[in-house]
């Protein structure tokens, strides 16, 4: 049944003046016209703007920012020319101080609304000295305008249209040379970009990872096929770029938004690059997760260490351990650290990384955290501290149940999505844990994303 047409205070395609009150979870400005909520990309709190209403729903609508009549004191000119259109950065028009305040408030709101926790003030966000050029990893989509062109860049906001660019202010400048070489190779050898609609064409993405410490670079080309023609030419030109240490192809023939395929074939060089966080060295292979902001990762892990407050006698679980980064960071202060991770290649890295650093008190397991930790619990294995660092969807309920049965002294929750963290912390709160401290860390400047570490203590 169609809802009755109620009169809205705004009319689609009409222009209005309004004041923005808040910044939403995706960085959009939010304000009201006669009590009716409008979301306006690019507008900031306290700004008076001219807006065109472009979409209306019963309880809220969307507006296009036409003009800023009174700008916020936190508004700055984005450093990047394509910041407005690109889906990568949502907050370049907001001063860095403004970004940090926004992220603190975002975590505070979510922890209250979803976590039901009202008696904790979230710490100030740990920011960066230089909040640009911080990423060590990039995945450039490759496409075509429908002619013979090769377009490499980033997806536009909320779309898969590629905005062509070879300069990104949060990436490493060397990527410009890398995409230049791949593009030239593709044009010369008639290697076509992949087309998502027709599922034809070859090159889907160019992925690179740079070690900030050793400078080593890993370059990957994700292809809809098994091999690249005349790949020797590509290899030889990529090798001319200083510090390229390995080149691989990743086979991905699926109709999917997942970027990397599961099969990695090294074309040349080492199958991993080495980086350091603090004193600990890590080898990282193409399929392994590794934090994208190495400068902030050290601050993040130091917070984990501080929250875990280890004396040297503790048994620790590091759930969702990736290549064992947190496990090895904590190992020196613990009796034993056990890590669990679902990607087998990452666990191979984790074991090698323990050897690389001469760390003998770690054990690593491949599998789902919820299954492995529960299985071990049923065999009698206990921990004093459990660190969890799940992907965006948060912890599996079964893992939370096991934690509540095991009752470790502390749970340190590392999260890239405050929403799911708040949900899980609420469950643990009902199972005997109290939140002691919440520390956001800005791993992703210029974007709306925020990383958080929370300390939970057994009541
Ligand atoms: N702690 C690591 C990795 C965190 S990212 C670091 O700081 O580098 C989250 C990791 O969880 C990824 O490596 C992902 O592969 C892994 N993962 C996802 N689901 C999982 C599950 N159910 N059990 C164990 N690991 C999982």
pLDDT digits (tens, 9 = 90+) for 101-143: 999 999 999 999 999 999 999 999 999 999 999 999 999 999 9
3-state secondary structure of 339: strand
Whether 88 is covered by a domain: the verdict is no
**Separation of alpha carbons 250 and 208, rounded Å:** 12
Nearest CA to ligand 1 atom 3: 322
Q: Give the ligand 1 atom nearest the CA of 368.
A: 23
Query: Binding site residues for S-adenosyl-L-methionine, as ranges?
Result: 291, 320, 341, 389
Six-digit token string for 62: 């969307």
- Tell whether 269 and 364 lie within a shared domain: no
How far apart CA 293 and CA 313 sit, in angstroms, is 31
What pLDDT does residue 7 have?
Answer: 86
**pLDDT-derived band of residue 166, with 50, 70 and 90 as boundaries?**
confident
Distance between CA atoms of residues 376 and 386, nearest Å: 13
Q: pLDDT (tens digit, 9 = 90+) per residue, 329-345?
A: 999 999 999 999 999 99
Q: Which of 230, 247, 277 is the last residue of a domain?
A: 277
- Examine the domain organization and report whether 338 and 438 are in the same domain: yes
- 260 C-beta closer than 6 A to ligand 1: no
Binding-site residues sit at 291, 320, 341, 389
209-253 pLDDT, tens digit each: 999 999 999 999 999 999 999 999 999 999 999 999 999 999 999
> pTM here?
0.93
Residues classed as catalytic: 416
- 143 with 109, same domain: the answer is no
The answer to whether the CB of 341 is under 6 A from ligand 1 is: yes
Does ligand 1 come within 6 angstroms of the Cβ of 353?
Answer: no
Q: Is residue 430 domain-shared with residue 321, that is, in the same domain?
A: yes
Q: How far is the CA of 210 from the centre of ligand 1 (A)?
A: 21
Range of the domain at 24: 15-70
Q: Which residues pair with 319 in a beta bridge?
A: 340, 388
Residue 80 lies in a domain: no
Q: What is the CATH number of the domain that holds 193?
A: 2.40.50.1070
Q: Could you tell me the distance, in angstroms and rounded to a whole number, from the CA of residue 438 to the centre of ligand 1?
A: 21
Query: Would you say the C-alpha torsion 213, 178, 89, 323 has a positive or negative sign?
Result: negative
Q: CATH number, domain at 59?
A: 2.40.50.140
**Are 302 and 402 in the same domain?**
yes
**Could you tell me the CA-to-CA distances from 250 to 154, 157, 177, 236 in Å, in that order?**
19, 26, 20, 18
For ligand 1, whether the C-beta of 451 sits within 6 Å is: no
Residue nearest ligand 1's atom 11 by CA: 320
pLDDT of residue 146: 77
H-only helix segments in 357-448: 369-378, 397-406, 418-430
Q: Is 399 in the pocket of ligand 1 (CB under 6 A)?
A: no
Compute, in angstroms, the gap from residue 389 CA to the centroid of ligand 1. 7
Q: Is position 52 within any domain?
A: yes
Share of the chain above pLDDT 90, in %: 96
Q: Are residue 121 and residue 168 in the same domain, yes or no?
A: no
Choose the weakest-confidence range: 3-7, 15-19, 200-204, 294-298: 3-7
Average pLDDT over residues 344-367: 97
């Amino acid at each position: 049944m169609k809802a009755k047409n109620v009169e809205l205070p705004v009319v689609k395609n009409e222009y209005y003046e309004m004041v923005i009150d808040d910044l939403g979870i995706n960085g959009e400005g939010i304000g009201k016209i006669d009590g009716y909520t409008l979301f306006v990309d690019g507008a900031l709190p306290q700004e008076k703007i001219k807006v065109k209403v472009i979409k209306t729903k019963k309880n809220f609508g969307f507006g296009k920012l036409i003009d800023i009549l009174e700008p916020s004191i936190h508004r700055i000119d984005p450093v990047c020319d394509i910041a407005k259109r690109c889906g990568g950065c949502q907050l370049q028009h907001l001063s860095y101080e403004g970004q940090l305040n926004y992220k603190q408030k975002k975590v505070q709101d979510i922890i209250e609304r979803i976590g039901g926790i009202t008696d904790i003030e979230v710490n100030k966000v740990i920011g960066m000295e230089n909040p640009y050029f911080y990423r060590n990893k990039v995945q450039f989509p490759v496409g075509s305008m429908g002619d013979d062109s090769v377009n490499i860049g980033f997806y536009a906001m909320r779309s898969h249209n590629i905005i062509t660019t070879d300069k990104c202010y949060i990436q490493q400048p060397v990527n410009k040379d890398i995409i230049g070489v791949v593009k030239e190779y593709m044009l010369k050898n008639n290697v076509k970009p992949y087309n998502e609609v027709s599922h034809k064409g070859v090159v889907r993405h160019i992925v690179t990872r740079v070690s900030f410490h050793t400078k080593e670079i890993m370059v990957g080309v994700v292809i809809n096929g098994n091999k690249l023609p005349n790949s020797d030419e590509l290899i030889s030109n990529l090798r001319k770029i200083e510090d390229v240490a390995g080149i691989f192809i990743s086979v991905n023939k699926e109709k999917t938004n997942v970027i990397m395929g599961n099969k990695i074939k090294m074309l040349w060089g080492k199958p991993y690059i080495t980086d350091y966080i603090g004193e600990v060295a890590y080898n990282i292979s193409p399929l392994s997760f590794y934090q994208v902001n190495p400068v902030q990762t050290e601050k993040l892990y130091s917070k984990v260490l501080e929250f875990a407050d280890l004396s040297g006698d503790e048994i620790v679980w590091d759930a969702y351990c990736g290549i064992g980064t947190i496990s090895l960071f904590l190992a020196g202060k613990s009796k034993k650290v056990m890590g669990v991770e679902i990607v087998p290649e990452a666990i191979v890295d984790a074991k090698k990384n323990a050897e690389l650093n001469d760390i003998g008190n770690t054990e690593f397991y491949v599998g789902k955290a919820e299954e492995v930790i529960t299985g071990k619990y049923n065999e009698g294995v206990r921990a004093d501290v459990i660190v969890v660092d799940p992907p965006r969807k948060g912890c599996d309920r079964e893992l939370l149940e096991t934690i509540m049965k095991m009752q470790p002294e502390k749970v340190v929750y590392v999260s890239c999505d405050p929403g799911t963290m708040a949900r899980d912390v609420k469950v643990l709160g009902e199972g005997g844990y109290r939140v002691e401290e919440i520390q956001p860390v800005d791993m992703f400047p210029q974007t709306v994303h925020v990383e958080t570490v929370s300390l939970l203590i057994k009541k």
